[in-house]
Amino acid sequence: MTTGGQPRQQQARGDAAVLLATKLLSPPIRPGLVPRPRLAERLRQGQRGPLTLISAPAGSGKTTAICTWLAASSARSVWLSLDAEDNDPARFWSYVCAACDRLAPGCGAPALGLLRAPQPAPLPVVASTLLNSLALLPPGDAPERAYVLILDDYQFIEAASIHESLALLVERLPPQLHLAITARADPPLPLARLRARGLLTELRANDLRFSLDEASTLIRDVSGLRLSERSIAALASRTEGWAAGLQLAALALHEQSDPEAFVAAFAGSHHYIVDYLAGEVIGQQPAHIRAFLLQTAILEQLCGPLCDALLGIDGAPQAPSRLQHAPAYSQLILAELQRKNLFLVPLDAERRWYRYHQLFADVLRARLYETAPEIVPTLHQRAAAWYAGELARSGPAYLDAAVRHAIAGGDSAAAAGLIEQSAEQLLRHGSFAELIQLLRALPAATVQRSPSLSILLARALFGAAEPDALPPLLDAIAAELPAASLPEAERRSIGAWAVALESQLLRVRGSYAAAIARANEALALLDEGDRHARGFVTMGLALALHMSGQLRAAVAPYQAAIGLLDAADRHNAITTRCLLGLLYRSLGRWADAAATFTQALACAEQHVLGAAVRLPTAGWAMIGLGELAYGRDDLAEAEHQLEAGVALAKQGGVRDALPFGYATLALLRQAQGRPEQARATSAAFLSFAAHDFNLPLVVGWAGAVDARLALVQGDLGRARQWAGGYTPPPGALFLSQAFELVTYLRILVAAGRAAEALALIDERLPAAEDGGDALLAIELLLLRASACGALGQAKAAHAALGRALEMAEPIGAPRLLLDAGAPTVSLPASAGPEPRDAARRAGALAEPLTPRELEILRRVAAGQSNQQIADALVLSVGTVKTHLHHLYGKLDARDRTHAAARARELGLLDES
């Protein structure tokens, strides 16, 4: 878990700086387009469903078809042009969120905030948060969906995590939004399932091919060429109706003295046509245009000042003397190229930024490397210098281009310097994948010899959940840092971060004592004002203390971490609160636990378009409240919180929360008398642990839950089978390990191995009590009472039970006693009084009241409203109403007043 970040206003400014506005503008419709009503109608009909896919080779007219359709549509649309740099998940989803902001201001902000956190949320969380915002968009009146999001050139996206999170978005798209994707090949999305359900509209190469009539219109009416029907048919046949081929042919035909002979002479595949016709087009341009095209071919995007820099205008070396007086020269050339329809695509309405058609750019670059390879490094260096200047003015939006051109120009040192200038901002935004990609683009030796670059890469790798890649980097830092020529403050910071990362690695590997020691060393090295780093280390320190059994000692660092994170990283602040809530629960401080989970819920709530929306991390807090309700034996409230929390965590991909939800939900189903559903929940937990969260702690926990249910349901054979493969781990026990141990001990007692269980209990009980683990201590004491009772040791059983009751009473957790089962209540009479249960006081009723019902009854009698009761007991108003309904039935009461009167008649209020 990484921490850190920045206040919301600063973050918002950083977000704007990172994104290129030109990528969010739809290409303008060129004049003279051939009308293609059949395509427009297909797309209009498809707009009634969630997804349209236009999958066809380059130059097929995919983008033009979308633009023409949307120009005639009343839908509010937003465009996102993708390129190779967008293969970074954080960058991709940042642009998607920014695009959605153009559908409705603020729509993408919550999800973008998660991405820009120093420890970004998992991609499913981001996608789910965005879905929640999109679902609030007002619907339209027409049958077609009111909003359209276009992802153009999706073939550049290769990251599996992007595909998976986009699939989540597609599968759960709200009914008012339509998604259109263009790509050169089918993306790995659930197309077959969507197709089978009638939710997918597809246009492919065959659909986009120009018919003979359309080709005739293009050649004759749009291009103004005079060709015979036979020649047009031949041209359409040999290009197979390929839009780019027809356009290239039309350009070449303009320069032919005998167009008919030209058409008859050429033949070949698409690639041949592109190479041949592009060559003809380039070769027929004036010399200054050819020079411009070749020298600017290295650019992904073009604007006048950037092209001027490449050409050496404005004082750059080797600038053509006749151009020295024309600083706007390149902008004029770009405008001329557009007028000539020379495969130049405008990227904004102001006609400032352009790009070449991709196939045309490929041909230009090939020509450049064939004819003038010696100038290529200089061109890249000039591009890098221009982008570096823009980087200083505009932030990291131009970082990729600056670094790429510097490396291509052979200046890795300059590239490294550019990365160092922007790295901290990328880390605080959570752009780990982007930073890793940039650093790995440098020569490996450059990074290895630089402690500054190595620590940046190590931090990014840990943030991206690649801890196994850290050791070589940390070794390199240790070797290079002593002799590195660095300012003392930077040397100290690098050393502190290295120690902090070592601490986190030790914790991940279970070496808690060493992790704690290294964390304290890191804190001693860090500057007091470095809240980012101190928050990162303090959270890790708290978690290491927690997992090592030092529960009381973990409270203060958790609280300190929250104080550091609240202003910097809301996502990790919520997570830290949930961890602290779990700690309070184990300590027996259930009121503090409830308050902490409730605070986490409040932190996870945000407003989008005037409506309250909870971040998926809230699912963990709801699960925590559900666990507390289950312990209080408030099964209705537990069910409400657990089901909602598991659903939200599952939807948002909050994997760490789901084991807690599955485990308690399975026990709840059993307590409700629903054994089949309990087994189904356990099976879901087992599958999740094996396939989605293959971590030994979680796998062992799922197996223990299944064994616990088998024991309670009377399948001792299956329970014993699990116990046969279990070995109690040495040392302190984390929450899941404690559950496994208690399950194992219960099975031993049930299987007649009470003496063996008693020995293990006596071995483990002191550590639980000394470490402050009240819940584990109570369960071990109850088990000790059971084991001693089974061995006929009545006095020892009575003493253990008394201590358990004494510890449990302040907590108010009767379910601990109920789940202890028959062995506890079957103690010999001389062992002492049975466990106190508030529900037994209502013995005059046919069906006794639960402790929660008694508490609500007291508050009803005191005149509290449903909302006041809900706030006081951390319940929903709906849950309070459910309890009241049960109360009326048990008391045979008509309403609240009657229920209070009946309770006084029965002496329930006096006795409570």
Residues 576 and 188: their CA atoms lie apart, in Å, by 36
Reported as a pLDDT band with limits 50, 70 and 90, residue 469 is confident
CA atoms of 812 and 867, how far apart (whole Å) = 22
What does the alpha-carbon distance between residue 245 and residue 359 come to, in Å, rounded to a whole number?
Answer: 11
pLDDT at site 855: 82
Distance (Å, whole) CA 267 – CA 287: 28
What's the CA gap between 193 and 185, in Å, rounded?
18
Cα separation of 217 and 145, whole Å? 32
- Planar angle of CA 276, 280, 281, nearest 5 degrees: 120
**CA 791, chain centre distance (Å):** 54
Instruction: Cite the DSSP H helix spans in 526-569.
Output: 531-547, 551-565
Task: Give 3's pLDDT tier (boundaries 50, 70, 90).
Answer: very low
Residue 301 · residue 317 · CB < 8 Å:
no
Instruction: Write the class of the CATH domain 662-837.
Output: mainly alpha
Q: Quick check: helix, strand or coil at residue 124?
A: helix
3-class secondary-structure state, position 466: coil
β-sheet bridge partners, residue 177:
147
Can you read off the two tokens belonging to residue 391?
């980087």
- CATH 3.40.640.10 for the 8-208 domain, yes or no: no
- Tens of pLDDT, residues 754-811: 999 999 999 999 989 888 899 999 999 999 999 999 999 989 988 888 888 888 888 8
Would you say residue 725 has pLDDT above 90?
yes
Quick one: pLDDT band at residue 52, thresholds 50, 70, 90?
very high
Q: At residue 847, does pLDDT exceed 70?
A: no
Q: Give the span between the Cα atoms of 663 and 653, in whole angstroms.
A: 17
Specify the pTM: 0.60
Cα(148)–Cα(178) distance, rounded to whole angstroms? 5
User: Are both 662-837 and 841-911 of the same fold?
Assistant: no
Inter-residue long-range contacts of 16-19, CB under 8 Å, 24+ positions, other chains counted: 17/394, 17/395, 17/396, 17/397, 18/94, 18/395, 18/396, 18/397, 18/429, 18/431, 19/94, 19/95, 19/98, 19/397
Domain boundaries, the chain: 8-208, 214-380, 381-486, 662-837, 841-911
Predicted pLDDT of residue 360: 77
Gap between the Cα atoms of 238 and 223, Å rounded: 18
Q: Within 13 Å, how many C-alpha atoms sit on residue 670's CB side?
A: 25
- For 689-721, letters b (16+ CB in 10 Å) and e give beeebeeebbbbbbbbbbbbbbbbeeeeeebbe
pLDDT band at 611 (very low <50, low <70, confident <90, very high): low
Q: What distance in Å separates the CA atoms of residue 784 and residue 503, rounded to the nearest whole number?
A: 38
pLDDT (0 to 100) of residue 621: 94
CATH of span 841-911: 1.10.10.10
Mean pLDDT of the chain: 83
Reading the block at residue 625, the tokens are 């409240």
Residue 95 neighbours by CB distance under 10 Å: 22
Three-state SS for 311? helix
Euclidean distance between CA atoms 43 and 70, whole angstroms: 9
- β 200-204/147-152 pair status: unpaired
DSSP 8-state symbol, 836:
P
* Helices H / strands E in the chain, number of each: 48, 10
d(CA 57, CA 67): 18
Q: What is the CA radius of gyration of the chain?
A: 34
Token pair 């930077």 is found at 490
Q: What does the pLDDT read at residue 276? A: 63
